Amino acid sequence: MTIGDLERRAGIEQTPEARARFWKPFAHLEARAMLDAGREELQRIIGEKTHDSADPVDGLTVEERDALRAFAAKEGRCWKAELRKQWMNASASPVLHGLRNRLGPSWLVRFRLHR
């Protein structure tokens, strides 16, 4: 996951001003230390935002996991192929489409739905 991905998940606006505001407290550090400290802070913010609503292992909210389970139960064995098709046609439910927007379509390849 890139720094930009972490910033978006943490809710940092993607404007130069907002990003500069976030990174300013780390400006006194050397480059590598600055990135490490910033990454830790972004992960802390993300953790606070998703506390009690997400699985720390895969970052899914309870709502997203439930939507995936319901979709998989409805579509059967080839549920991932159907979900990819719906993502491409923008016909997936808002929760599932939001998941694609947040984690990207390649995320689905690695994801395993534990029963």
Q: What is the pLDDT of residue 58?
A: 66
Q: What is the pLDDT of residue 51?
A: 58
Question: What is the value of pTM for the model shown?
Answer: 0.52
At residue 53, does pLDDT exceed 80?
no
Span 13-35, pLDDT tens digits: 999 999 999 999 999 999 999 99
One-letter amino acid at 41 equals E
At residue 41, does pLDDT exceed 70?
yes
At residue 52, does pLDDT exceed 50?
no
96, two tokens: 């599932």
Distance CA 100, CA 14 (A): 19
Backbone angles phi, psi at 84, to 5 degrees: -60, -40
**So where are the chain's domains?**
3-50, 62-110
At residue 57, does pLDDT exceed 60?
no
